[in-house]
Amino acid sequence: MHELLSNNYLRIIGSTLSVYLFIVIALRLFGKKELAQLAVVDLVFILLISNAVQNAMVGPDSTLSGGLVAASTLFIVNYVLKYLQYRFPKFSKVVQGDATMLIYKGKFIEAHMKKAKISEDELMEAVREHGVASVKEVDLAIMEVDGSISVLSDKYQKKTSKRQKAHKVISKQDG
């Protein structure tokens, strides 16, 4: 009986690891924009994905101990992945990607916007959220590795503490 329980827990650990890695890879492939700019359909999608993969992780074992084994596995693998990203910057770059410049000196960088899968309208929304009215006023706009958009402009000197859709504001420092 003890051997059966151990094998079941090993199956839960293996399934949970597989699902975790699949989700990380899928999010990386589908783009970082998805992480920072969650719309209602994105939230529904995430909830449905979590529900769909739950059974794949624990299988027929819907006991408390089965759930705790799966949850513990997720915490441990997440900790290890974060540690590896911290310890090995090249690994972090593979997992998270690079920041992408979207606006430079008041001009859209169309090729980078296409690669980041962000439209002019979406980018202008982020710019306005930072208190800048026109793209011509933007010195630099960057999509960060977490999907948030940082905006730097001459006229916008104050950092905001209000973060809508997880966008960040970077202000120029007087030299």
Kindly give the confidence (pLDDT) of every residue in the chain, 175 residues in length, as a single tens digit, with 9 standing for 90 and above: 455 456 788 888 988 888 888 888 887 777 655 455 566 676 777 778 887 788 888 888 778 888 888 889 999 998 999 999 999 999 888 888 888 999 998 899 999 999 888 889 888 988 888 888 888 888 889 988 878 888 888 755 533 323 444 444 444 444 4
| Co-location of 74 and 54 in the same domain | yes
Range of the domain at 141: 100-169
The three-state secondary structure class of 138 is: strand
Two structure tokens written together for 33: 């924009």
Tokens 């699902």, residue?
Answer: 19
| Same domain? 54 vs 114 | no
Q: Please tell me whether residues 23 and 71 are part of one structural domain.
A: yes
Q: CA 121 to CA 117: how far, in whole Å?
A: 12
Find the radius of gyration of the CA atoms of the chain: 21
Question: d(Cα 116, Cα 145) in Å, to the nearest integer?
Answer: 11
Per the structure, how many domains does the chain have? 2
Task: Mark whether 18 and 68 lie in a shared domain.
Answer: yes
pTM of the predicted model as reported, rounded to 2 decimal places: 0.62
User: Do 147 and 165 belong to one domain?
Assistant: yes
**Half-sphere exposure for 26 (CA within 13 Å, toward CB):** 9
Same structural domain for residues 72 and 128?
A: no
Q: Put residue 159 in one of left, alpha, beta given phi > 0 → left and psi -120 to 50 → alpha.
A: beta
How many Å apart are CA 7 and CA 173, to the nearest integer?
Answer: 59
